[in-house]
């Protein structure tokens, strides 16, 4: 079968739009993810005065406004379901010295925003949050000063919000992370002429008052690709070939874990595309065994843990994940959602405060899954549901639109019939 091309990387797509708008001159973006989350970033940037064409139009070209070109919005900026939009844009707005109100849907409004509000306030901005610490978030930017910040959470969104605030305000920043997180921002800024360096878990940015424009080819999203590797893993597809997948080590922890569990994964045609490693990924299933996912692995596979839990339901033995308390504050409480749904379809699973335990089996899994509107819960259980003998119904399959609008079509195309 022809290789499957998963859609563009979500993290890189958000950043590509933001950096194109902040750049000096025209930037072309090829392979941008067209999904509800990326639309949210485009909407927010338009609200700040940027002109962004229809995202459907293949390669898009954006005329940058430069670091000082954004203007104050006249209406609240709607981030939809997208945490990346809310947190990264808070950094940009604060750095630009603007005042803006960020709002979002019910799920996003409940997610923690103090983690970005605190460093931005330490730089001199004022950020108002409701009692529960979520949205709406009112950002009053201002002349910011430089910052050295020790982040308590390993979060690429927090790191990036600080880096972008420093870039736009033209002040140096330094972020210490408890564990290394995805480094797309650093790679993309370096490619556009910014002095960003990483040593151990510390990232330093020294701005120079401008950001060059830059063209980018967005690689396929490894998080989306992982669902198909999972499909091969549980034997619901033959070998699967996925073309043009980003294989940044900060994003491919799930590939390493699935290999341990018995999947054969090969990389072919490796190349560096705009500073990001990309490859064709070929996945072949085999007998699955349980594994232990350790806390140090979590940042590199945080979004893939629902899929790993679903694969673990078909693996011999007990799979244990710890150090993943962050899962509780994603688009849903993913620890609760994964465990309660696995149980609802007849699998053996247990919550831990910071993770879960899944005991695999080979009996049929049947029942109804509650997605909580969470795209990754829907896709992970969709993979399990594609296995012959299983019968899994989802309450809201359409929530995949957040990151992978064509997921169900692609799944139908590659599964064994
Ligand atoms: C993202 C970082 C991660 C990830 C999210 C996208 C990013 O969130 O879960 O899907 O693009 O920087 P945290 O930074 O909250 O861990």
Note the pLDDT tens digit of each residue in 115-149: 999 999 999 999 999 999 999 999 999 999 999 99
> Of 217, 249, 282, which residue constitutes the final position of a domain?
217
Note whether 283 and 188 are same-domain residues.
Answer: no
Task: Return d(Cα 334, Cα 374) in angstroms, integer.
Answer: 9
* Co-location of 289 and 254 in the same domain: yes
For residues 318-346, average pLDDT:
98
Pocket test for ligand 1, best of 8, 10, 11 (most atoms within 8 A of CB): 11
Res. 244 pLDDT band, cuts 50 70 90: very high
CATH number at residue 247: 3.65.10.10
List all residues whose CB is within 6 A of at least one atom of ligand 1.
Answer: 11, 84, 155-157, 160, 182, 302-303, 326
DSSP letter string, 369-399: E--TT-HHHHHHHHHHHTSTT-EEEES-GGG
The pLDDT confidence band at residue 415, using thresholds 50, 70 and 90, is confident
CA distances from 340 to 266, 334, 337, 365 (A): 34, 10, 5, 13
73 Cα distance to chain centroid? 26
Residue 330 shares a structural domain with residue 398: yes
Distances (CA, A) of 248 to 115, 195, 276, 336, 392: 25, 21, 6, 29, 33
Sheet of 173-176: strand order equals 147-150, 173-176, 202-206, 195-199
CA of 293 to the centre of ligand 1 (A): 19
The pLDDT of residue 404 is 98
87 and 128, same domain (yes or no): yes
Domain boundary among 217, 241, 270: 217
CA of 43 to the centre of ligand 1 (A): 19
Write down the pLDDT at residue 416: 74
pLDDT at 150: 98
% of the chain at pLDDT higher than 90: 98
According to the model, what pLDDT value does residue 274 have? Answer: 83
Kindly state whether residues 335 and 251 are assigned to the same domain.
yes
pLDDT of 1 higher than 90: no
In a domain, 118, yes or no: yes
Question: Is 2 part of a structural domain of the chain?
Answer: no
pLDDT at 328 over 90: yes
Domain co-membership, 23 together with 164:
yes
Task: Please give the mean pLDDT across all residues of the chain.
Answer: 97
Q: Are 219 and 242 in contact (CB under 8 A)?
A: no
Give me Rg for the CA atoms of the chain: 21
Domain contains 4: no
Query: From the CA of 89, how far away is ligand 1's center (Å)?
Result: 14
Answer whether residue 17 shows pLDDT above 90: yes
Of 217, 245, 279, which residue is a domain's last? 217
Over residues 75-87, the mean pLDDT reads: 98
Structural domain that includes position 292: 222-414
Residue 109 lies in a domain: yes
Three-class SS state of 186: helix
Active site residue 239: no
259 and 134 fall within a common domain: no
305-312 and 334-344 are packed helices; what angle lies between their axes, rounded to 10 degrees? 30
Do residues 281 and 201 both lie within one domain? Answer: no
- The pLDDT score that the predictor gives to residue 417 is 58
CB atoms within 10 A of CB 179: 16
Within-domain flag for 5: no
Q: Is the predicted pLDDT of residue 358 greater than 80, yes or no? A: yes
Together in a domain, 93 and 108: yes
Torsion angle, CA of 91/93/94/96, rounded to 10 degrees? 120
């Amino acid at each position: 079968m022809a290789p499957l091309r998963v859609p563009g990387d979500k993290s890189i797509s958000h950043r590509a739009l933001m950096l194109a708008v902040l750049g000096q001159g025209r930037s072309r973006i090829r392979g941008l993810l067209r999904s509800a989350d990326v639309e949210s970033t485009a909407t927010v940037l338009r609200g700040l005065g940027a002109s962004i064409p229809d995202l459907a139009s293949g390669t898009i070209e954006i005329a940058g406004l430069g670091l000082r070109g954004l203007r104050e919005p006249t209406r609240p900026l709607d981030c939809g379901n997208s945490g990346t939009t809310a947190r990264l844009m808070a950094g940009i707005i604060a750095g630009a010295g603007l005042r803006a109100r960020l709002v979002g849907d019910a799920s996003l409004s409940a997610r923690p925003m103090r983690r970005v509000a605190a460093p931005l306030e330490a730089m001199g901005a004022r950020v108002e949050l409701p009692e529960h610490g979520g949205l709406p978030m009112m950002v009053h930017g201002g002349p910011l000063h430089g910052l050295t910040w020790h982040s308590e959470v390993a979060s690429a969104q927090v790191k990036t919000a600080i880096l972008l605030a420093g870039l736009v305000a033209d002040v140096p920043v330094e972020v210490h992370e408890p564990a290394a997180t995805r480094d797309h921002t650093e790679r993309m800024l370096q490619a556009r002429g910014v002095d960003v360096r990483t040593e151990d878990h510390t990232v330093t940015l020294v701005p120079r008052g401008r950001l060059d424009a830059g063209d980018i080819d967005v690689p396929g999203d490894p998080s989306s690709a992982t669902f198909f590797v999972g499909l091969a893993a549980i034997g619901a597809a033959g070998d699967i070939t996925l073309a043009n997948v980003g294989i940044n080590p900060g994003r491919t922890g799930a590939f390493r874990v699935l290999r341990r569990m018995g999947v054969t994964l090969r990389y072919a045609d490796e190349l560096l595309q705009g500073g990001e490693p990309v490859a064709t990924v070929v996945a072949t299933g085999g007998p699955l065994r349980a594994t232990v996912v350790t806390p140090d692995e979590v940042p590199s596979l945080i979004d893939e843990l629902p899929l790993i839990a679903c694969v673990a339901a078909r693996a011999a033995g007990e799979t244990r994940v710890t150090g993943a308390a962050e899962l509780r504050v994603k688009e849903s409480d993913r620890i609760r959602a994964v465990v309660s749904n696995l149980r609802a379809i007849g699998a053996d699973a247990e919550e831990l405060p910071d993770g879960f335990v899944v005991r695999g089996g080979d009996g049929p899994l049947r029942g109804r899954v509650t997605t909580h509107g969470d795209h990754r819960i829907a896709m992970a259980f969709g993979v399990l549901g594609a296995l012959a003998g299983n019968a899994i119904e989802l309450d809201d399959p359409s929530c995949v639109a957040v990151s992978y609008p064509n997921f169900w079509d692609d799944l139908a195309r590659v599964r064994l019939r």
